[in-house]
A and B are shown apart, each in its own frame.
Chain A
Amino acid sequence: MTTIAPVEQSIYDKILAAAPDGERLRLCLQCGNCSGICPFGYLMAYPPHRLIAYLRADRFKNVLDTDTVWMCVSCYACTEVCPSDIPLTPGLMTSAKEELLLAGNVPSELQSALEFSQRYGNPLGESPRKRADWAKDIQPEVKIMGKVRQPVDVLWFVGDYPSYHPRVQSIAKALTKVLNALGVDFGILGPEEYSDGDSQRLAGERGLFEMLAERNGMAFGKYQFNEIITTDPHAYNAIKNEYPGLGISYPIKHYTEFLAERLDQLKPLLKKEVKARVTYHDPCYLGRANEIFDQPRALLEAIPGVELVEMFHNHKNSLCCGGGGGGMWLDGFQWEKAHVRLSEWRVKEAMSEGAEILAVACPYETPRFEDAAKTVEGAGELKVKDIAELLAEAMGD
């Protein structure tokens, strides 16, 4: 076994403890697959395999003086291809970011998002009291658990961006329409909902993640419901895989899973044709990290008129939109390093399949891809739609 000097012991231990099977880090073959598949690996001074080599050589402090670890978007591409099954994303890269963060090496954009999350419970810096404002004018009224004080069948964890981001709020409204059409008895936490904290965790802020998780756990504990659904794959990942470790255990489904189970009931409601060539982008935290590939596609195929085509990168091999692991809050930083956005690569792929609609299932993606479509030549006509929006559209008025 490699001997590790005391100075490196803490980071090494942290990585080993950060993820189940962290111990597998010792099995690295230095094949370099991880760094090759990493969408930003070519820009990193220490892509994953080199990071491991430096750790083994007791030279991790060299890494602390660089900032290209912040190019990691926690997309799980490296983890997916590792022949030794090392938890590279949740273990190695997240711990490396945590060390950088503790050393004060944090890009300022990310710092604001983390401070906002601490203070307001959302990375956008919006008032926590306004978390349910998106639902204000909706009829029938969306139940806010703290107000109605009655049990519901389904607790909908709306998430940060569907709650606050003007573009993404329309996804929350669309999903409300779909849930109501299906007669689902649901409620939301509103001002008692905090950021799920998963992207903050993957950006190295474990303590912040725990704080946010505890607050959500307290809110969950106050109300009666049978299961949680969520709009956000990051929330899904956190509540499904990370919250139980903190003693917060609830059954959770991503809304595409939940709706796919009700496909027989849903299909007759989809009367209006959405005549378009549609391609689907697998979100990292729905697809690669949690292996939900079929349900979103089944929903799209149920919409009359939709012709579903696959992009070159699909399913486990999907390309990240660039928003994960803190990437959502590192746009300027990453642009300075790369002069390209991952979302632009993805939009180009959608274009090369002749897609008219790029369908998504993660709240980070609509604004990212819509912005990218504005900068990619010839992509001006490409529509970016969440599956919930397409379903609502197919239901007509």
Chain B
Amino acid sequence: MNIVVLVKLVPDLVEELNIDPSGAALDMSWLRLIINEFDDHAIEQAILLKERGGGQVTIVAPEYEGVDEVLFTAAAKGADRLIKLSGDASAGSAQVFVAANNHALARACAAVIKELQPDLVLTGVQANNDLDGPLGPTLAECLGMPYVGYISGVTVSDGKVTARKEYPGGLIAEMEVKLPAVLGIQAAEQPPRYVAVSKVRMVMKTAAIEERAADALDPSGGPAVGRMFQPEAAVHAEMITGSPDEVADKLVSIFKEAGVL
């Protein structure tokens, strides 16, 4: 089983988000990036599959500031191969991907993933900066593979995958998916494991990150951001004060005014 996990880094919400002077994007200068939490689960699920049934796990990630550490950490957990996509160096490769939308990322990553001829592609079901929908379905379209999202458990047998898909209301479906396929992981079967710093440091000395140049990014199909802004308070709630009787009287008159009494 050849498993590829696509990982992206997203703004770390521990730091406050600021708007760029252009007014249509995040200010990148103070932005700190962190692995998309759902992608971390996708890595864990891939390692679990490898531990259960063998195979090879390849992690693919666009270049971001701090991505090497994310890749080495995945290797320390058990990933076999690490691939980093580099963009236009003249524009600051890492900056290019932070600003890219999912349409552009999916196209760029699909080109590299196709070459790897995966049986299964896992990626996080969503991310905090998905302005144009999740990455998984768009990637599947580019790869010409089926996609199932909101997955919280995967088993493999006879070239077929059974995926547990979560629906609202506590419903769970078990779906048989033909390979190759892309799965959007909501949660791995166990929380992402801890890997000791000493292990990561050891891996850094031995593991290699392969670099692949991405084609020029094509963001077409995604929305154009007109304005980005902090949440603005528009209408304030009216606080009703007074004794219980006064409050009740006011409520009655408000309801009457609204035509519900």
A residues near B, CB below 8 A? 98, 101-102, 104, 106, 108, 111, 114-115, 118-120, 125-127, 129, 205-208, 210-211
Contacts and interface: CB of A to CB of B under 8 A. Distances in A.
B198 to A, nearest CB: 3
Given A108-B191, A119-B34, A127 B197 contact: no
A70 to B, nearest CB: 13
A211 B201 CA distance: 10
B199 A102 contact: yes
28 contacts: A98-B196, A101-B194, A101-B196, A102-B196, A102-B199, A104-B193, A104-B194, A106-B194, A108-B191, A114-B194, A115-B194, A118-B197, A120-B14, A126-B14, A127-B14, A129-B30, A205-B196, A205-B197, A206-B198, A207-B196, A207-B197, A207-B198, A207-B200, A207-B201, A208-B197, A210-B197, A211-B197, A211-B201
Interface in B182-201: 191, 193-194, 196-201
Contacts of A111: 191, 194
B15 interface: yes
Contacts of B197: 118, 205, 207-208, 210-211
Given A102-B196, A205-B196, 17 more contacts: A101-B194, A101-B196, A102-B199, A104-B193, A104-B194, A106-B194, A111-B194, A119-B34, A120-B14, A125-B14, A126-B14, A129-B15, A205-B197, A207-B196, A207-B198, A207-B201, A211-B197
B3 to A, nearest CB: 20
Contacts of A108: 191
B240 to A, nearest CB: 32
Contacts of A126: 14
Contacts of B198: 206-207
A131 to B, nearest CB: 12
Interface residues of B, number: 13
A106 B191 CA distance: 11
A115 B198 CA distance: 13
Interface of B: 14-15, 30, 34, 191, 193-194, 196-201
Nearest to B197: A207
Nearest to B12: A119
User: 7 shortest A-B CB distances, which residue pairs?
Assistant: A207-B198, A207-B197, A208-B197, A111-B194, A106-B194, A127-B14, A104-B193
A387 B113 CA distance: 61
A118 B197 CA distance: 8
Nearest to A206: B198
Nearest to B73: A118
A88 to B, nearest CB: 22
A102 B195 CA distance: 7
A43 B96 CA distance: 54
A341 B136 CA distance: 46
Contacts of B196: 98, 101-102, 205, 207-208
Contacts of A210: 197
Contacts of A125: 14
Contacts of B193: 104
B199 A207 contact: yes
Contacts of A207: 196-201
A205 B191 CA distance: 19
A207 B204 CA distance: 13
A211 B197 CA distance: 8
A64 B191 CA distance: 19
A154 B199 CA distance: 37
A292 to B, nearest CB: 30
A207 B15 CA distance: 26
Contacts of B200: 207
- Listed residue (B30, B193, B198, B199) with the most chain A CB atoms within 10 angstroms of its CB: B198
A334 B46 CA distance: 31
Contacts of B201: 207, 211
Contacts of B30: 129
B8 to A, nearest CB: 17
Nearest to A212: B197
Nearest to B193: A104
Nearest to B15: A127
A119 B13 CA distance: 13
A104 B194 CA distance: 6
A210 B198 CA distance: 9
A74 B197 CA distance: 21
A129 B191 CA distance: 28
A115 B34 CA distance: 12
B35 to A, nearest CB: 10
A346 B203 CA distance: 44
Nearest to A105: B194
B143 to A, nearest CB: 32
A341 to B, nearest CB: 24
Contacts of B194: 101, 104, 106, 111, 114-115
A64 to B, nearest CB: 14
A104 B197 CA distance: 13
